[in-house]
Chain A
Protein backbone atom coordinates (compact mmCIF):
# COMPACT_ATOMS: atom_id res chain seq x y z
CA UNK A 1 0.00 0.00 0.00
CA UNK A 2 1.06 3.61 -0.57
CA UNK A 3 1.31 6.08 2.27
CA UNK A 4 2.08 9.76 1.82
CA UNK A 5 4.24 11.23 4.54
CA UNK A 6 4.81 14.97 4.86
CA UNK A 7 7.09 16.66 7.36
CA UNK A 8 7.33 20.36 8.09
CA UNK A 9 9.55 23.07 9.44
CA UNK A 10 12.75 21.91 11.11
CA UNK A 11 11.70 18.29 10.61
CA UNK A 12 11.51 18.64 6.84
CA UNK A 13 15.28 18.58 6.48
CA UNK A 14 15.72 15.67 8.89
CA UNK A 15 12.97 13.49 7.49
CA UNK A 16 12.98 14.28 3.80
CA UNK A 17 9.91 16.46 3.27
CA UNK A 18 7.19 14.97 1.10
CA UNK A 19 7.59 11.19 0.67
CA UNK A 20 5.60 8.29 -0.72
CA UNK A 21 6.18 5.10 1.29
CA UNK A 22 5.48 1.68 -0.20
CA UNK A 23 4.43 -0.49 2.75
CA UNK A 24 3.04 -3.96 3.36
CA UNK A 25 -0.66 -4.40 4.06
CA UNK A 26 -1.26 -4.31 7.82
CA UNK A 27 1.58 -1.92 8.52
CA UNK A 28 1.36 0.32 11.56
CA UNK A 29 2.25 3.97 12.09
CA UNK A 30 5.42 2.88 13.89
CA UNK A 31 6.54 0.96 10.79
CA UNK A 32 6.23 4.13 8.74
CA UNK A 33 8.02 6.30 11.31
CA UNK A 34 10.82 3.83 11.95
CA UNK A 35 11.47 3.50 8.22
CA UNK A 36 12.64 7.11 8.09
CA UNK A 37 16.23 8.16 8.33
CA UNK A 38 16.68 10.21 11.51
CA UNK A 39 13.59 8.53 13.01
CA UNK A 40 15.21 9.07 16.41
CA UNK A 41 14.08 12.68 15.98
CA UNK A 42 10.46 11.43 16.24
CA UNK A 43 10.36 8.31 18.30
CA UNK A 44 11.69 7.57 21.77
CA UNK A 45 11.48 3.83 22.35
CA UNK A 46 7.96 3.07 21.19
CA UNK A 47 6.39 6.45 21.83
CA UNK A 48 6.16 9.63 19.84
CA UNK A 49 8.34 12.34 21.37
CA UNK A 50 6.69 15.20 23.25
CA UNK A 51 7.97 17.88 20.89
CA UNK A 52 6.44 16.29 17.79
CA UNK A 53 2.82 16.02 16.63
CA UNK A 54 1.77 13.28 14.22
CA UNK A 55 -1.50 13.50 12.32
CA UNK A 56 -3.01 10.74 10.21
CA UNK A 57 -5.54 12.07 7.71
CA UNK A 58 -5.79 15.28 9.74
CA UNK A 59 -6.36 13.58 13.11
CA UNK A 60 -3.76 13.95 15.81
CA UNK A 61 -2.50 10.50 16.81
CA UNK A 62 -0.53 9.52 19.89
CA UNK A 63 -0.68 5.72 19.53
CA UNK A 64 2.31 4.56 17.54
CA UNK A 65 0.50 1.27 16.86
CA UNK A 66 -2.25 2.97 14.86
CA UNK A 67 -3.08 0.83 11.82
CA UNK A 68 -2.47 2.40 8.42
CA UNK A 69 -4.51 1.93 5.25
CA UNK A 70 -3.70 2.43 1.61
CA UNK A 71 -3.85 6.13 0.73
CA UNK A 72 -3.39 7.40 4.27
CA UNK A 73 -1.53 10.67 4.70
CA UNK A 74 0.77 11.20 7.66
CA UNK A 75 1.76 14.74 8.65
CA UNK A 76 4.62 15.30 11.09
CA UNK A 77 4.73 18.72 12.70
CA UNK A 78 7.36 19.99 15.12
CA UNK A 79 6.06 21.68 18.26
CA UNK A 80 6.11 25.43 17.65
CA UNK A 81 5.73 27.11 21.00
CA UNK A 82 6.77 30.73 21.10
CA UNK A 83 4.72 33.89 20.86
Chain B
Protein backbone atom coordinates (compact mmCIF):
# COMPACT_ATOMS: atom_id res chain seq x y z
CA UNK B 1 0.00 0.00 0.00
CA UNK B 2 1.47 3.34 -1.02
CA UNK B 3 1.49 6.22 1.45
CA UNK B 4 0.23 9.65 0.39
CA UNK B 5 3.86 10.82 0.36
CA UNK B 6 4.82 7.99 -1.99
CA UNK B 7 1.93 8.80 -4.30
CA UNK B 8 3.24 12.35 -4.55
CA UNK B 9 6.87 11.23 -4.94
CA UNK B 10 6.02 8.93 -7.84
CA UNK B 11 3.30 11.10 -9.37
CA UNK B 12 5.15 11.39 -12.70
CA UNK B 13 5.51 7.63 -13.18
CA UNK B 14 2.31 6.27 -11.64
CA UNK B 15 0.42 7.30 -14.82
CA UNK B 16 2.72 4.85 -16.64
CA UNK B 17 2.94 2.02 -14.13
CA UNK B 18 -0.38 2.43 -12.32
CA UNK B 19 -0.76 2.20 -8.55
CA UNK B 20 -0.45 -1.56 -8.88
CA UNK B 21 2.86 -1.31 -10.76
CA UNK B 22 4.23 1.17 -8.24
CA UNK B 23 3.22 -1.13 -5.40
CA UNK B 24 4.99 -3.99 -7.16
CA UNK B 25 8.17 -1.92 -7.21
CA UNK B 26 7.72 -1.11 -3.53
CA UNK B 27 7.34 -4.79 -2.74
CA UNK B 28 10.42 -5.79 -4.79
CA UNK B 29 13.91 -6.73 -3.65
CA UNK B 30 16.77 -6.24 -6.09
CA UNK B 31 20.39 -7.32 -5.78
CA UNK B 32 22.84 -4.88 -7.32
CA UNK B 33 25.93 -7.04 -7.83
CA UNK B 34 28.75 -4.50 -7.76
CA UNK B 35 28.78 -0.85 -6.65
CA UNK B 36 30.96 0.41 -9.50
CA UNK B 37 29.99 2.34 -12.62
CA UNK B 38 27.04 0.20 -13.68
CA UNK B 39 25.91 -0.38 -10.11
CA UNK B 40 25.97 3.38 -9.52
CA UNK B 41 23.73 4.29 -12.44
CA UNK B 42 21.34 1.36 -12.15
CA UNK B 43 20.90 1.65 -8.38
CA UNK B 44 20.33 5.41 -8.59
CA UNK B 45 17.39 5.01 -10.96
CA UNK B 46 15.96 1.96 -9.21
CA UNK B 47 16.10 3.71 -5.85
CA UNK B 48 14.53 6.85 -7.29
CA UNK B 49 11.83 4.75 -8.96
CA UNK B 50 10.85 3.26 -5.60
CA UNK B 51 12.18 -0.31 -5.58
CA UNK B 52 11.38 -1.09 -1.97
CA UNK B 53 14.52 -2.99 -1.02
CA UNK B 54 17.93 -2.61 -2.62
CA UNK B 55 20.75 -4.94 -1.61
CA UNK B 56 24.13 -3.80 -2.89
CA UNK B 57 27.10 -6.15 -2.76
CA UNK B 58 30.70 -5.05 -3.16
CA UNK B 59 33.96 -5.73 -1.35
CA UNK B 60 36.02 -2.69 -2.34
CA UNK B 61 36.79 0.73 -0.96
CA UNK B 62 36.34 3.85 -3.07
CA UNK B 63 39.45 4.86 -5.02
CA UNK B 64 39.99 8.35 -6.43
CA UNK B 65 40.16 6.85 -9.93
CA UNK B 66 36.60 5.50 -9.51
CA UNK B 67 35.04 8.93 -9.35
CA UNK B 68 34.85 9.64 -13.10
CA UNK B 69 32.02 7.12 -13.38
CA UNK B 70 30.94 5.71 -9.99
CA UNK B 71 28.45 8.40 -9.10
CA UNK B 72 27.31 6.69 -5.91
CA UNK B 73 30.58 7.69 -4.30
CA UNK B 74 32.19 10.93 -3.18
CA UNK B 75 34.89 10.08 -0.63
CA UNK B 76 37.97 7.99 -1.47
CA UNK B 77 38.77 5.40 1.17
CA UNK B 78 35.17 4.80 2.26
CA UNK B 79 33.79 1.30 1.84
CA UNK B 80 31.67 1.29 -1.30
CA UNK B 81 28.72 -0.37 0.41
CA UNK B 82 28.64 2.36 3.10
CA UNK B 83 28.97 5.05 0.49
CA UNK B 84 26.16 3.48 -1.57
CA UNK B 85 23.89 3.22 1.46
CA UNK B 86 24.39 6.88 2.33
CA UNK B 87 23.80 8.11 -1.20
CA UNK B 88 20.72 6.03 -1.94
CA UNK B 89 19.09 6.66 1.46
CA UNK B 90 19.60 10.35 0.92
CA UNK B 91 18.11 10.08 -2.56
CA UNK B 92 15.06 8.15 -1.41
CA UNK B 93 14.49 7.79 2.36
CA UNK B 94 11.32 5.75 1.82
CA UNK B 95 13.15 2.62 0.63
CA UNK B 96 15.39 0.13 2.41
CA UNK B 97 19.03 0.03 1.32
CA UNK B 98 21.28 -2.77 2.50
CA UNK B 99 24.97 -2.75 1.71
CA UNK B 100 26.71 -6.13 1.96
CA UNK B 101 30.49 -5.89 2.10
CA UNK B 102 31.32 -9.24 0.55
CA UNK B 103 33.04 -10.59 -2.53
CA UNK B 104 30.58 -12.34 -4.81
CA UNK B 105 31.61 -15.97 -4.90
CA UNK B 106 30.08 -19.41 -5.10
CA UNK B 107 30.03 -19.49 -1.28
CA UNK B 108 28.44 -16.06 -0.77
CA UNK B 109 25.90 -15.91 -3.59
CA UNK B 110 23.11 -18.00 -2.06
CA UNK B 111 22.89 -15.78 1.05
CA UNK B 112 22.98 -12.66 -1.15
CA UNK B 113 19.98 -13.95 -3.11
CA UNK B 114 17.83 -14.65 -0.04
CA UNK B 115 14.47 -12.96 -0.73
CA UNK B 116 15.68 -11.33 -3.95
CA UNK B 117 13.37 -10.93 -6.99
CA UNK B 118 15.89 -9.78 -9.61
CA UNK B 119 19.66 -9.45 -10.06
CA UNK B 120 21.45 -6.57 -11.76
CA UNK B 121 24.84 -7.68 -13.07
CA UNK B 122 27.21 -4.79 -12.48
CA UNK B 123 30.36 -6.88 -12.06
CA UNK B 124 33.74 -6.25 -13.65
CA UNK B 125 34.77 -9.80 -14.55
CA UNK B 126 33.21 -12.70 -16.40
CA UNK B 127 34.28 -15.13 -13.68
CA UNK B 128 31.96 -13.28 -11.27
CA UNK B 129 29.29 -12.95 -13.95
CA UNK B 130 29.24 -16.72 -14.47
CA UNK B 131 28.58 -17.13 -10.73
CA UNK B 132 25.60 -14.77 -11.04
CA UNK B 133 24.44 -16.57 -14.16
CA UNK B 134 24.51 -20.02 -12.53
CA UNK B 135 22.79 -18.71 -9.40
CA UNK B 136 20.11 -16.93 -11.43
CA UNK B 137 19.38 -20.21 -13.24
CA UNK B 138 19.41 -22.18 -9.99
CA UNK B 139 17.05 -19.77 -8.20
CA UNK B 140 14.97 -18.97 -11.33
CA UNK B 141 15.65 -15.24 -10.99
CA UNK B 142 15.86 -12.76 -13.86
CA UNK B 143 19.36 -11.41 -14.44
CA UNK B 144 19.93 -8.09 -16.17
CA UNK B 145 23.43 -8.29 -17.64
CA UNK B 146 25.42 -5.18 -18.47
CA UNK B 147 29.05 -4.51 -19.36
CA UNK B 148 31.06 -1.49 -20.48
CA UNK B 149 34.39 -0.71 -22.09
CA UNK B 150 35.55 2.65 -23.38
CA UNK B 151 32.66 4.23 -25.27
CA UNK B 152 30.88 0.88 -25.72
CA UNK B 153 28.50 -1.23 -23.74
CA UNK B 154 26.05 -4.11 -23.90
CA UNK B 155 22.86 -5.18 -22.14
CA UNK B 156 20.61 -8.22 -22.19
CA UNK B 157 17.99 -9.67 -19.89
CA UNK B 158 18.26 -13.33 -19.00
CA UNK B 159 15.03 -15.02 -17.97
CA UNK B 160 15.66 -18.58 -16.74
CA UNK B 161 13.55 -21.11 -18.61
CA UNK B 162 12.80 -18.65 -21.40
CA UNK B 163 15.98 -17.18 -22.83
CA UNK B 164 19.57 -17.97 -23.63
CA UNK B 165 21.79 -17.53 -20.59
CA UNK B 166 24.98 -15.50 -20.30
CA UNK B 167 27.18 -18.51 -21.03
CA UNK B 168 25.17 -19.35 -24.16
CA UNK B 169 26.28 -15.96 -25.51
CA UNK B 170 29.77 -15.86 -24.01
CA UNK B 171 30.90 -19.45 -23.45
CA UNK B 172 34.42 -18.66 -22.28
CA UNK B 173 35.68 -15.75 -20.18
CA UNK B 174 37.63 -13.09 -22.05
CA UNK B 175 41.10 -12.19 -20.73
CA UNK B 176 40.88 -10.20 -17.50
CA UNK B 177 41.24 -6.48 -18.06
CA UNK B 178 40.42 -3.15 -16.46
CA UNK B 179 39.43 -1.20 -19.55
CA UNK B 180 39.29 2.60 -19.58
CA UNK B 181 35.74 3.88 -19.67
CA UNK B 182 33.90 7.13 -20.13
CA UNK B 183 31.58 7.61 -17.17
CA UNK B 184 28.63 8.39 -19.41
CA UNK B 185 28.94 4.90 -20.94
CA UNK B 186 28.16 3.50 -17.48
CA UNK B 187 25.27 5.96 -17.25
CA UNK B 188 23.78 4.79 -20.54
CA UNK B 189 24.16 1.07 -19.93
CA UNK B 190 23.26 1.25 -16.22
CA UNK B 191 20.13 3.26 -17.06
CA UNK B 192 19.04 0.64 -19.60
CA UNK B 193 19.62 -2.02 -16.95
CA UNK B 194 17.38 -0.06 -14.55
CA UNK B 195 14.71 0.19 -17.26
CA UNK B 196 14.90 -3.56 -17.87
CA UNK B 197 14.60 -4.23 -14.13
CA UNK B 198 11.56 -1.95 -13.81
CA UNK B 199 9.88 -3.69 -16.76
CA UNK B 200 10.58 -7.14 -15.35
CA UNK B 201 9.39 -6.23 -11.85
CA UNK B 202 6.17 -4.57 -13.02
CA UNK B 203 5.39 -6.71 -16.08
CA UNK B 204 5.32 -3.74 -18.43
CA UNK B 205 6.86 -3.65 -21.90
CA UNK B 206 9.08 -6.13 -23.74
CA UNK B 207 12.34 -7.09 -22.07
CA UNK B 208 15.61 -7.60 -23.92
CA UNK B 209 14.94 -11.34 -23.98
CA UNK B 210 17.16 -13.28 -26.39
CA UNK B 211 18.45 -9.93 -27.64
CA UNK B 212 21.85 -8.42 -26.98
CA UNK B 213 21.80 -4.64 -27.21
CA UNK B 214 25.17 -3.15 -28.16
CA UNK B 215 25.90 0.55 -27.72
CA UNK B 216 28.67 2.16 -29.77
CA UNK B 217 29.23 5.54 -28.15
CA UNK B 218 31.74 6.76 -30.72
CA UNK B 219 29.10 6.57 -33.46
CA UNK B 220 26.11 7.05 -31.13
CA UNK B 221 24.69 3.86 -32.60
CA UNK B 222 22.61 1.18 -30.92
CA UNK B 223 22.50 -2.28 -32.50
CA UNK B 224 20.82 -5.51 -31.58
CA UNK B 225 21.75 -9.16 -32.09
CA UNK B 226 19.23 -11.97 -31.77
CA UNK B 227 20.56 -14.70 -29.51
CA UNK B 228 19.69 -18.39 -29.62
CA UNK B 229 19.97 -20.68 -26.64
CA UNK B 230 22.75 -23.28 -26.82
CA UNK B 231 21.28 -26.69 -25.99
CA UNK B 232 24.76 -27.84 -24.95
CA UNK B 233 25.49 -24.81 -22.75
CA UNK B 234 27.51 -25.71 -19.66
CA UNK B 235 25.20 -23.64 -17.45
CA UNK B 236 21.68 -23.96 -18.85
CA UNK B 237 21.98 -26.80 -21.37
CA UNK B 238 20.71 -29.49 -19.04
CA UNK B 239 17.80 -27.43 -17.78
CA UNK B 240 14.40 -27.83 -19.42
CA UNK B 241 12.85 -24.83 -21.17
Q: CB distance A83 to B123 under 8 Å?
A: yes
**Contacts of B226 on A, CB cut-off 8 Å?**
58
Cβ proximity bits A53-83 to B, threshold 8 Å, 1 near / 0 not: 1010111101000000000000101111111
Q: CB distance A12 to B37 under 8 Å?
A: no
Shortest Cβ distance from B81 into chain A, in angstroms?
15
Q: CB distance B147 to A50 under 8 Å?
A: no
The one of B178, B214, B216, B230 in contact with A82, judged by C-beta atoms closer than 8 angstroms, is: B178
A83 to B169, CA, bound (A): 18
A6, A59, A60, A78: which has the most chain B beta carbons within 10 Å?
A60
4 more contacts with CB within 8 A, not counting A82-B147, A83-B147, are A79-B170, A81-B124, A83-B122, A83-B123
Q: CB distance A83 to B168 under 8 Å?
A: no
Interface on B for A, CB 8 Å cutoff? 34, 36-39, 121-126, 146-150, 152-154, 168-172, 174-179, 181, 210, 212, 214, 216, 219, 223, 225-228, 230
Top 10 closest A-B pairs, CB basis? Answer: A79-B174, A58-B228, A83-B124, A9-B152, A80-B147, A80-B149, A58-B226, A8-B214, A83-B38, A75-B225
A78 to B150, CA, bound (A): 12
Q: Count A-side interface residues using an 8 Å CB cutoff.
A: 22
**Contacts of B172 on A, CB cut-off 8 Å?**
50, 62
Q: CB distance B122 to A80 under 8 Å?
A: no
Q: CB distance A83 to B212 under 8 Å?
A: no
The one of B121, B122, B178, B228 in contact with A59, judged by C-beta atoms closer than 8 angstroms, is: B228
**Contacts of B149 on A, CB cut-off 8 Å?**
9-10, 78-82
Q: CB distance A12 to B219 under 8 Å?
A: yes
